[in-house]
Amino acid sequence: MVIALVGFAAQLVDGALGMGYGATSSSFLLVAGLTPVMASATVHLAEVGTNVASGVSHWRLGNVDWRLVGRIGVPGAIGAALGATVLAHLSTEAARPLMAMILGGLGMYIMLRYIFRPPQVSDARRSPHRKRFLVPLGLVGGFVDATGGGGWGPISTTTLMSAGKTAPRTVIGSVDTSEFLVSASASAAFLVHLGLLGVEWPLVLALLLGGIVAAPIAAWLVSRIPARTMGIAVGGLIIMTNLNTLLAAGGIDKQGLTLGFAGFVAVWFALVIAMAVRESRVKKAQAEALAAAEAEWSI
């Protein structure tokens, strides 16, 4: 039940922001005691199903540019296979801090991005980017995604949105849809190295069911949710779930771990509240301006 809720929450975040499923769910699975390679394999196998549900939901709502899906998804699949192979051959002792570092870095990137540079706004429903830009982006995104247990969305979605050349809903819908290729490739590579009996299938099923339920809700929320507040909250959550591993790897004692963890949580919580208040004020000001304009036109 807990794993299904993790899958639900992770897919809700991913479908609404275009990122976060792998990083969020992998972080919780590591906390639950899974090895890095098992956490990444479990997440990617579950994502094969959730990506289909998410892709169909976005397609029905007109959020998908199929040319973008192909140009970024195919190289992403190649990068994912390479990343899964690398992770499968690392020892648990070496892989755990490496994955925590990747996930923590992704969480920090997501949080800072939504604090200082929220997604650009564009109305273009077809991406103008060429293969020379999308192929390297897909390769890097796929490799990091499989090695870190997540990263396809944070790398691909944020890069495409930063360019400000494509409508956010098209970027999110296309990246979510192309992630099916990445997840399928990584899953195949993990199965080659782990075998069918090496996978915790009940965990895969629980994540999958939670994600499938959340997919259509997330697709509907993509243009209605306060993205900056959620981005900061999700980024901080990913950092928080990996912070102890990162601090321990740095040789910090138990007291230092407690102080560091408590300090980060306090700052993170304050940032989420501050952004939520700011977003509420902006929304209220926009509503008042619209009402004033309508009143002026009616005179």
| Rounded distance between C-alpha atoms, residue 146 and residue 41, angstroms | 8
Using the CB atoms, write b or e for 20-38: b if 16+ within 10 Å.
bbbbbbbbbbbeeebbbbb
Q: Which of 287, 4, 195, 235 is nearest to 107 (CA)?
A: 235
Taking a C-beta distance cutoff of 8 angstroms, is the pair 56, 184 a contact? no
pLDDT of res. 143: 93
- How many domains, the chain? 1
- Say which DSSP state 199 is in: S
Q: How far is CA 206 from CA 157, 167, 188, 199, 214, in A?
A: 26, 33, 20, 13, 13
The domain containing residue 202 runs over which residues? 2-298
The two tokens of residue 282 are 């902006």
pLDDT of res. 225: 60
- Residue 184 sits at the vertex; the CA angle it makes with 180 and 190, to the nearest 5 degrees, is 145
Determine the number of helices (DSSP H) and then strands (DSSP E) in the chain.
11, 0
pLDDT in tens, the chain (299 residues): 677 877 787 777 776 666 677 877 888 888 777 888 888 888 888 888 877 877 887 888 888 889 899 999 999 999 999 999 998 888 766 777 877 888 788 788 878 877 887 765 555 556 667 788 899 999 999 998 888 888 788 788 877 876 666 777 788 888 888 989 999 999 999 999 888 776 778 888 888 888 778 767 766 665 566 667 777 877 787 787 777 777 777 777 777 778 888 888 899 889 888 888 888 888 888 877 777 777 777 66
Rg (CA), the chain: 19
pLDDT of res. 222: 58
E runs forming strands in the chain: none
Handedness of CA 43, 46, 48, 53 (dihedral sign): negative
Using the CB atoms, write b or e for 115-145: b if 16+ within 10 Å.
eeeebeebeeeebebeeebbbebbbbbbbbb
Beta-carbon count within 10 A of 188 CB: 16
The stretches of the chain forming alpha helices (DSSP H) are 2-17, 21-31, 36-60, 66-88, 92-116, 131-148, 152-163, 168-194, 201-221, 227-249, 254-298
| Rounded distance between C-alpha atoms, residue 138 and residue 79, angstroms | 7
